[in-house]
Amino acid sequence: MTSPLGIIGSGTMGETFARLAVAAGLNVMISNSRGPETLKDLVQDLGPLARAGSVTDVAREADIVIASVPLIAYKQLPADALAGKIVIDSINYYPQRDGQIAVLDENASTSSELVQAHLASSFVVKAFNNIAFASLGNGARPKGDPERSTLPVSGDDAAAKARVMDLLDTLGYDALDAGRLGDSWRREPLTPIYVKPYMPEWPAERMTLDQLFAWLRAAPVIPMSRQRAADLLASAVRGTAGGRLPDTI
């Protein structure tokens, strides 16, 4: 990559993307809606390969940008600045946070197709949405490692999808071509390949949100083979769109 990997969103997933990229030797530019000054501590912790910028700065400077924002905010992604860029959509639909979206509730569209419609001049590729931040951060492995996991990638542009698959390889994951954006419902919340296969069984006891996050960070990663990923995708049956974010369990 000749330009920095751009990240829009600095929550748990955005920070995880940045840490994986820096660990792989990539330059990173990260942003959030609150402004680059709020990312000073994170960038300092990430080291010299990372810097902060505004959302527009990231969109203009990076050739590949990971969108790690709530679905409710997807229309705030700067379409003009992102024109011609590859945008990795890691977004999921959670009605409790995003409100009910009729075209998704009716299965008339996938969330990625909504993002692509907004970013009409960009190349949207769906990736990273079906794994928890802690599993993603802990699960990266070198190429050829028997415990390397596979993540599905969907997109309507073959060249853009291939570049994203190469990025996954750099970050420590095998990539499985999972078809077009219209097929991405197969790894949305509540589908067989969503989150749970990459981690142990969730604990039965009730936990606070802080306890849940601590458990996630400590949970071992269950490797996902390419064949198992393909089988889980194929077994998906389209049902009610959207998932539910945990508060406590």
Residue 66 has φ and ψ, to the nearest 5°, of -95, 120
Beta pairing, strands 174-177 & 64-67? unpaired
Residue 111 has pLDDT above 60, yes or no: yes
pLDDT bin (cut points 50, 70, 90) of residue 205 is confident
Residue 249 has pLDDT above 60, yes or no: no
Residue 139 has pLDDT above 70, yes or no: yes
pLDDT digit string, tens, across residues 118-137: 999 999 999 999 999 999 99
What local confidence, expressed as pLDDT, does residue 13 receive? 96
Mean pLDDT of 9-30: 97
**Mapping DSSP to helix (H, G, I), strand (E, B) and coil, where does residue 175 land?**
strand
The structure tokens listed for 177 are: 């071509």
Q: What angle do CA 15, 4, 161 make, to 5 degrees?
A: 85
What local confidence, expressed as pLDDT, does residue 62 receive? 97
What local confidence, expressed as pLDDT, does residue 85 receive? 98
Distance, CA of 10 to CA of 5 (rounded, Å): 14
Distance, CA of 61 to CA of 112 (rounded, Å): 23
pLDDT bin (cut points 50, 70, 90) of residue 247 is low
Side chain identity at 175, as an amino acid letter? A
pLDDT bin (cut points 50, 70, 90) of residue 1 is confident
Residues linked to residue 88 through DSSP beta bridges, in sequence order = 66, 125
Give the pTM.
0.94
> Helices (H) and strands (E) in the chain — how many of each?
10, 8
Q: What angle do CA 121, 125, 127 make, to 5 degrees?
A: 155
* Ranges of H-type helices in 106-245: 111-118, 133-139, 158-171, 209-218, 226-235
Mean per-residue pLDDT of the chain: 95
